[in-house]
């Protein structure tokens, strides 16, 4: 079976790596190709993940780069279509909810080539998020929908998707987490930053709704001012956020916060080493809500909603939005709580890739 595996942006690499690895183990049944759309292209946002995750270099690189949503989605489609026509794959596998996910799924469905979506069925019910549009549309057109948890199956059924297109396989990112947790302990990032376990917090922030608007970003900084007085907050900063800090005139304010340490974006292993040693994580990422839940690290989600409700009901995730009083109160409650509580979520067991291959 010839399978094209699509990667585009940072959160795709740790989802595709275990699938490609499993396919390479089953050489007689699967011939995987890796296609990189180039949605993310900085060394720190892309190259380092291939090394850290033992993901083979892309067989084909589309080199689309950054632009508006329409221009980026269109460029991916234009460049991906000839690849599919040439390679004639049996399946195309897309993951997550980035523009590359939807663009490539749309190309396939128009060509009559089968497409599978990994991490299907997640819904924030917030249509102002570009990712929510990507999720809704990809799930409508994909042939096979691989879901991480039962709530995702329910979402799909409620949208009229027949059960035979849905397979509950678990969380593919946790395959990567299990595989690399031990190895990440060799990272020297904590030593380099002078940190000791559970004596710092980690922050990530890149959603347009948080970092592109002065009022919202300002409120989040109000909260971070208080928290970082008590506990150093390490902030590996996404390129989008680095840009908007300057554009919104927040640079001096951020620089004056002595407890907030801005660092360049980290690769997979360094970042895993960093957050797995943290006392607290603050984030607007989706995947980090899942990773911290599995490790039992308190996670404050700086959004009003989540497409991953199981991390709230079963995991360590707390939805706090951007209201400073709520963020501060929840952070201090979490800091005063007792030790970590790693959780077992059904099928988040490191074997999701095998279940995906079996279904394909
Ligand atoms: C994208 C995804 C988002 C995901 C995030 C993870 C969409 C709609 N959004 O958001 O779901 O959570 O990736 O990082 O697909 N840039 C660089 N170097 C890079 C990549 C981006 O400097 O390698 C800068 C560019 O200025 C670019 C901006 O970051 O315009 C935003 O990049 P883009 O890929 O459009 O969206 P993200 O915010 O990264």
Distance CA 34, CA 46 (A): 14
346 CA from centroid of ligand 1 (Å): 31
Residue 240 alpha carbon, nearest atom of ligand 1: 29
Distance CA 279, CA 241 (A): 23
> Residue range 295-299: average pLDDT?
96
CA-proximal residue: ligand 1, atom 35 (nearest):
66
Per-residue pLDDT tens over the stretch 145-193 = 999 999 999 999 999 999 999 999 999 999 999 999 999 999 999 999 9
Residue 11 alpha carbon, nearest atom of ligand 1: 6
CA-proximal residue: ligand 1, atom 11 (nearest):
98
Residue from 206, 238, 251, 351 carrying the catalytic annotation? 206
| pLDDT score at 340 | 79
Residue predicted with more confidence, 336 or 307? 307
In this structure, the strands spanning 2-7 and 280-283 are unpaired
Per-residue pLDDT tens over the stretch 197-255 = 999 999 999 999 999 999 999 999 999 999 999 999 999 999 999 999 999 999 999 99
Best mutation site among 10, 12, 40 for ligand 1 pocket (most ligand atoms within 8 Å of CB): 40
At residue 177, the 3 state secondary structure works out as helix
The residue to which tokens 């409700």 are assigned:
309
Ligand 1 binding pocket (C-beta < 6 A) is 9-11, 39-42, 45, 66, 97-99, 130-131, 206, 238-240, 243
Residue 338 reports pLDDT greater than 90? no
| pLDDT score at 70 | 98
CA-proximal residue: ligand 1, atom 28 (nearest):
240
Best mutation site among 76, 98, 133, 287 for ligand 1 pocket (most ligand atoms within 8 Å of CB): 98
Residue 257 reports pLDDT greater than 90? yes
CA-proximal residue: ligand 1, atom 31 (nearest):
240
The pLDDT confidence band at residue 342, using thresholds 50, 70 and 90, is: confident
Distance CA 26, CA 205 (A): 38
Per-residue pLDDT tens over the stretch 42-89 = 999 999 999 999 999 999 999 999 999 999 999 999 999 999 999 999
Q: What is the DSSP letter of 41?
A: -
The pLDDT confidence band at residue 300, using thresholds 50, 70 and 90, is: very high
Residue predicted with more confidence, 339 or 189? 189
CA trace torsion 196, 198, 199, 202 (10° rounding) = 100
Distance CA 119, CA 172 (A): 8
The pTM for the full model equals 0.97
At residue 72, the 3 state secondary structure works out as helix
Residue 178 annotated as catalytic: no
| Both tokens assigned to 77 | 């489609």
136 CA from centroid of ligand 1 (Å): 20
């Amino acid at each position: 079976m010839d399978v094209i595996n699509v990667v585009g942006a940072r959160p795709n690499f740790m989802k595709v790596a275990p699938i490609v690895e499993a396919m390479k183990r089953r050489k007689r049944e699967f011939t995987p190709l890796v296609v990189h759309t180039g949605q993310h292209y900085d060394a720190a946002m892309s190259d380092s993940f291939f090394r850290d995750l033992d993901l083979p270099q892309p067989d084909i690189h589309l080199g689309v780069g950054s632009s508006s949503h329409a221009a980026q989605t269109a460029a991916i489609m234009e460049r991906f279509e000839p690849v599919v026509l040439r390679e004639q794959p049996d399946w195309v596998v897309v993951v997550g909810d980035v523009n590359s996910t939807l663009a490539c799924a749309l190309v396939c469905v128009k060509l009559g080539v089968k497409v599978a979506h990994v991490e299907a069925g997640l819904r924030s019910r917030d249509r102002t998020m570009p990712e929510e549009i990507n999720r809704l549309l990809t799930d409508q057109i994909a042939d096979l929908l691989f879901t991480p948890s039962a709530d995702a199956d329910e979402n799909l059924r409620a949208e009229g998707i027949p059960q035979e297109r849905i397979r509950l396989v678990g969380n593919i990112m946790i395959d990567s987490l299990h595989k690399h947790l031990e190895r990440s302990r060799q990272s020297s990032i904590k030593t380099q930053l002078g940190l000791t376990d559970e004596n710092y917090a980690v922050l990530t922030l890149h959603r347009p709704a948080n970092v592109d608007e002065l009022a919202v970003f300002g409120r989040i900084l109000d909260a971070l001012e208080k928290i970082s007085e008590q506990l150093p907050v390490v902030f590996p900063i996404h390129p989008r956020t680095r840009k908007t800090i300057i554009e919104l005139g927040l640079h001096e304010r951020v620089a004056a916060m002595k407890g907030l340490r801005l660092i360049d974006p980290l690769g997979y292993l360094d970042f895993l080493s960093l957050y797995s040693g943290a006392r607290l994580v603050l984030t607007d990422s989706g995947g980090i809500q899942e990773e911290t839940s599995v490790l039992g690290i308190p996670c404050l989600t700086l959004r009003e909603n989540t497409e991953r409700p199981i991390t709230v009901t079963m995991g360590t995730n707390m939805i706090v939005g951007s209201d400073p009083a709520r963020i501060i109160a929840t952070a201090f409650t979490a800091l005063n709580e007792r030790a970590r509580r790693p959780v077992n979520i059904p099928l988040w067991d490191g074997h999701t890739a095998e279940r995906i291959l079996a279904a394909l």
